[in-house]
Structure 1
Amino acid sequence: MKFLKSLYLTRRFFYVIAAIALLFLISFWIPMIYPILWVILVILSIVLVIDIIALYQSKGLTAQRILPEKFSNSDLNSVKIQIKNAYSFKVFAEVIDELPIQFQKRDFLYTAEVAPAKNIEFEYEVIPLQRGEYKFGKLNIYAQSILKLAKIRKVFDAEQTVKVYPSFIQMKKLDFLAIDNRISQAGLKKIRRLGHTMEFEQIKEYVTGDDVRTINWKATAKHRNLMVNQFQDEKAQPVYSVIDTGRVMKMPFEGLSLLDYAINSSLAFSNIALRKKDKTGMISFSAKIEKILKDSSRMSQLQRIMESLYNINTDFKESDFGSLYAGINRFITHRSLLMLYTNFEHPSALERQLPYLKAINKRHVLVVIFFENTEITRLLQSRPENLSESAHQGIAEEFNQNKVKMAKELQRHGIQTVLTKPKDLSINAINKYLEIKARGLI
């Protein structure tokens, strides 16, 4: 029974049978071909049996799926398939991989020719759009010989689970470009430092390019060489990513929710802050404070942040900024930079939360990051073709202006603001952080 379940006759076989059946019908009028057709049918049967025996005679094909340790959310991730041919003849293989249900892809098929006693490897790419566990099912391989009359199926118990984490690929890309001094390519701005928010490090000899304002005249007179004071950036400033997980962050744009954009940005931003020797932490909240990860400047903090962000989800409740204010007062005792990822769609929503935001900003440097509605922007860029579409554009323009007004209202109260398209979030958040560092606000 197991043998029958794994054996399949191919289209070529049925085409040949259909042709022979047609010729048998024609033999009613041309009797002389009738015995020839029986000979052909017998030969076909023998060849089919030989084909089947050849496919079952040895271990045949073996295959395995190779997955990375983790997937990066919203990025291309590679999956490798290795196939080994133990046959003494060339095999035509069809590979059907049972992909995780989140991808909603049921037509995966890869075909390949595998030479005798050879191995091949191929890879395909997937883009996960949700964090969490992705379960791969069985790996199905259909093998057929050069005759292509029959094929057998081999099922490999390759069930595997891989976790999808916030976009560490995006984080590494921004990190690499910043380290490689190609920050303009990444979209990061070179921001001139304003004033001296720096710590004294040492006195050294002047070299071309040193700031003449740092010349130490006493040391110069003593050593009879031009000496300058060398400074380094102030380090270990507390920096927190504060992520709103309320229902306003469930809104999707280009396949990702605003929450996922915020989480990806938090990881990239935290990495840059750690590179700048600052201490990073994380807070998530909705109707109450959900998670608090205390700030630390150790590089291992990045892994802790990633693990904390991995399973954060919206709970569809209205966010309580009063609870956020109370939690910040309780847990964050030093003046810190707070990068608040949230969203406001109407001025009335901001008006309700503004007293809490102002109170937080008194003790800390608060940056409110919220999102442009790119669907509305796209609507405004289209050309209306009738009165109804013109009316829709008028409403859309009002929504668009409300976003700008809310940003100005926050700035009027001394609150740093970033109004950004979701896809530009990481770049704009990092730029704001670098700007605040340059201005010495923390």
Structure 2
Amino acid sequence: MKRIFKNTYLNKRFFWCLACLILGFLVAFVYPQILFVMQMLFVIFILLWVTDLFLLFATKGKIEGERLVPDKLSNGDENPIAIKLTNSYLFKTYVKLIDEIPFQFQKRDFLLWSVLNPGQEKQYQYQLRPTQRGSYSFGSINVFAYSPIGFLSRRFQFNTNQEVPVYPSFLQLRKYDLLAFSNRLSEYGLKKIRRIGHTMEFEQIKDYVRGDDIRNINWKATAKRNQLMVNQYQDEKSQPIYSVIDKGRVMQMPFNGLSLLDYAINATLVISNIAIKKQDKAGMFSFSKKVENRVVADRRSAQMNLILETLYNLDTDFAESDYSRLYIDIKRNLNQRSLLLLYSNFETLDALHRQLPYLQAIAKNHLLVVIFFQNTELQEFVTNKAKNVHQIFEQTIAEKFIFEKRLIVNELRKNGIQTILTKPEDLTINTINKYLEIKARGLI
């Protein structure tokens, strides 16, 4: 009995009917001839209420449900969540579905209405976009079942306290992995880079296709086959590619819900996977006050899992990044010339000049690519039409900061340091582009 009362709820239809009955009895004081009619209606009302209670609790029917969640969610991407409901009642059942979504989403108005026929199974799907790594806790699935009478609803609860981890964007990894090896990257803004040279290690003779270097045509094989044949040479392989992530406070600025640090983490995961598929060795480390989260560059089968777990546990300490410590660590631990993709952010020339001597020292022994970010919100603010002198002044200051970013690019390039200035949402594309360009030009 206690269980019945705990899971029984009165619906709006019950209160509307009760209100009409009360109003009718009030009118019966003035017109006594309708009193008998109102008494009969009240009896019918009680019978319907009892019948509704019987249908929901006394029969063997019930609503069964299950939440279908991936083993892990992808940070910054839309992740599908499904809920499966099965109706074992012998009558058409109306359901109200409320899912207790993790508090990180701050979504407190999730509600689905549906109708289930007898014995019907139905699946409902919605999307969640997490913007923080870590463990997310789903609460209960609350299903309120109504009979066709609709006076009462019975609550069913499923999947209480379901924990799901949110990892760096492995969905991006899969997407770019497929595109990179199906020659469709240009559809996503990646440029085709003219190959300046190649190693002289012969690989095979193959049919000529548009875009092949005509200097590599093998005329003897062409004469034998009566069609154009070209020599194919192997690219340089097993080159160390390190993603170096600045996890200081400059990387905590958020854009579209994700911090710059998370954008860098997602890009690191993708570029590491592509580097390994290109037969290079991928590794990573992070730094702020000290260098940590190190994964030595390798291309073994378990390397991507190791990088993924390391990125999952990476977080900022809100400290000022120490580039001198970074330089000393690289000089001590990286003996082979490597490609270093440094994800950081510089807002002013003064900030760059403080770190420039260390960047120059690193670039002497390694191919350094400094990757930092445009402030897209400033750019949107500048494009808005100013309405008063105060807004003109603010837009002028914003343009100064935007122009200073371009000066930083010029300063780095003047000192022989490769540079990417990118919007946060284009970081992964531009990083892959730069990597493919470096490979094509044989810079490392």
Equivalent residues in 2 for 1:13-412 (5 A)?
A: 13-56=14-57, 57-196=59-198, 198-202=199-203, 204=205, 211=213, 213-214=215-216, 229-412=231-414
Residues 199 and 46 of structure 1: CA distance in aligned 2, closer, same or farther (over 3 Å): farther
Q: Deviations over 1:178-205 (max 9, x none)?
A: 2222221111111110122x25134648
- What is the TM-score of this pair, normalised by structure 1? 0.95
Residues 189 and 61 of structure 1: CA distance in aligned 2, closer, same or farther (over 3 Å): same
Matched, 1:8 2:9: yes
Residues 59 and 89 of structure 1: CA distance in aligned 2, closer, same or farther (over 3 Å): closer
- Note the C-alpha offset of 1:331: 1.9
Structure 2 unaligned spans of 5+:
none
**Number of aligned pairs?**
438
Q: What is the alpha-carbon distance in structure 2 between the residues aligned to residue 145 and residue 203 of structure 1?
A: 72
- Note the C-alpha offset of 1:280: 0.5
For 1:28, give the aligned amino acid.
F
Identity between Structure 1 and Structure 2 (%): 50
Is contact 1:66–1:80 with CA below 8 Å preserved after alignment? yes
4+ residue stretches of structure 1 with deviation over 6 A?
223-228
Q: What is the alpha-carbon distance in structure 2 between the residues aligned to residue 357 and residue 202 of structure 1?
A: 37
Residues 228 and 376 of structure 1: CA distance in aligned 2, closer, same or farther (over 3 Å): closer
Is contact 1:269–1:430 with CA below 8 Å preserved after alignment? yes
For 1:48, give the aligned amino acid.
W
Is contact 1:65–1:158 with CA below 8 Å preserved after alignment? no
Is contact 2:67–2:159 with CA below 8 Å preserved after alignment? no
- Note the C-alpha offset of 1:382: 1.0
Secondary structure of the structure 1 residue equivalent to 2:118: coil
For 1:35, give the aligned amino acid.
F
Residues 305 and 135 of structure 1: CA distance in aligned 2, closer, same or farther (over 3 Å): same
Deviates more, 1:140-149 or 1:1-10: 1-10
Superposed CA RMSD: 2.0
Residues 212 and 152 of structure 1: CA distance in aligned 2, closer, same or farther (over 3 Å): closer
Q: What is the alpha-carbon distance in structure 2 between the residues aligned to residue 128 and residue 203 of structure 1?
A: 46
Q: What is the alpha-carbon distance in structure 2 between the residues aligned to residue 6 and residue 32 of structure 1?
A: 40
- Note the C-alpha offset of 1:227: 8.7
- Note the C-alpha offset of 1:9: 1.1
Is contact 1:86–1:116 with CA below 8 Å preserved after alignment? yes
Is contact 2:206–2:232 with CA below 8 Å preserved after alignment? no
Structure 1 unaligned spans of 5+:
none
Q: What is the alpha-carbon distance in structure 2 between the residues aligned to residue 417 and residue 228 of structure 1?
A: 35
Secondary structure of the structure 2 residue equivalent to 1:154: strand
Secondary structure of the structure 2 residue equivalent to 1:303: helix
- Note the C-alpha offset of 1:282: 0.6
Q: What is the alpha-carbon distance in structure 1 between the residues aligned to residue 187 and residue 216 of structure 2?
A: 32
Secondary structure of the structure 1 residue equivalent to 2:30: coil
Q: What is the alpha-carbon distance in structure 1 between the residues aligned to residue 94 and residue 263 of structure 2?
A: 43
Residues 228 and 59 of structure 1: CA distance in aligned 2, closer, same or farther (over 3 Å): closer
Q: What is the alpha-carbon distance in structure 1 between the residues aligned to residue 126 and residue 266 of structure 2?
A: 23
Residues 281 and 33 of structure 1: CA distance in aligned 2, closer, same or farther (over 3 Å): same
